[in-house]
Amino acid sequence: MRKKKKKKNVVGKKDIVSKEIIGKLAAYLAIYLLDLSIDPDYQEAKGTEHQRVEVRRADLVVKLREQGGDPFLLHIEIQDTNDPQMPVRMMRYMTDVLLAHPGLPVRQYLIYIGAEKLTMSNGFDHADFPYRYGLVDMRSVDCQYLIKKRHSGSLGIGYTV
């Protein structure tokens, strides 16, 4: 009886070589094209394929315009718990809104209505990309100020605080 020879995993070896080449290419692009001061001998290819099957709906997205100004999109999220991932979630909403409505600037606000003390951040600093959005803690809003405005919209907000 003859033993079968094991085939070498040629595809796997090619994949490893390809990743090494791509890693080197990325390092060279970073150094020579992007003028980044990096270590050319350190690179690690990362997987970028992410399957997303989800339904995300922003709480409120509306097209508005300041008096005499240009239109913009106002995005408001209402949150009743502290979520340490909220800045990343807000950025995902931002990209979703920008893709759905190209050409319009977006202003984002998170309104916190939780009973616990607000501990969430209003953004993050990531390398060359600082990201911020407005954050309103309804527990610190002076409801009397809103009630004194005597407008139906402000009255509704004032009485719910």
> Residue ranges of the domains in the chain?
10-45, 60-160
Whether 148 and 142 have beta carbons less than 8 Å apart is answered as no
Question: pLDDT at position 152, please?
Answer: 46
Nearest C-alpha neighbor of 137 from the set 62, 88, 86:
86
- Tens digit of pLDDT for each residue in 16-75? 556 667 666 677 667 666 777 767 776 665 555 656 677 778 888 888 887 788 889 989
- Structure-model confidence comparison of residues 93 and 27, the more confident one: 93
Any idea what DSSP says for residue 133? Answer: -
Predicted TM-score (pTM) of the model is: 0.67
In one-letter notation, the amino acid at residue 88 is V
Question: pLDDT at position 30, please?
Answer: 72
Question: pLDDT at position 58, please?
Answer: 85
Q: 5-9, 102-106, 151-155: lowest mean pLDDT where?
A: 151-155
pLDDT exceeds cutoff 90 at 5? no
- Structure-model confidence comparison of residues 130 and 15, the more confident one: 130
Size of the chain in residues: 161
